[in-house]
Copies of this chain bind each other. A is one copy, B any other.
Amino acid sequence: MATADDHRTYSIRQLCREFGATARALRFYEDKGLLTPARKGQTRVYDARDRARLKLILRGRRIGFSLLEIQEMLDLYDHDNHNAHQMAVALRRHRAQIEALKQQREDLDAAIETAEEACAVMERKLGEHRPDLLPGADEYATLLKSRLNPDHHVQPFKARA
Contact = CB atoms under 8 A, between A and B. Distances in A.
Contacts of A60: 111
Copies in the complex: 2
- Secondary structure dominating the interface of A: helix
Interface in A53-88: 59-60, 62-64, 66, 73, 76-77, 81, 84-85, 87-88
Contact of A87 (B87, B126, B160, B161): B126
Contacts of A108: 63, 101, 104-105, 108
**What bracket does the count of chain A residues touching chain B fall in?**
35 or more
A48 interface: no
A98 B122 contact: no
Contacts of A116: 98
Given A84-B129, A84-B133, A133-B84, A76 B110 contact: no
8 contacts: A63-B108, A63-B111, A88-B134, A91-B119, A94-B115, A99-B157, A101-B115, A102-B112
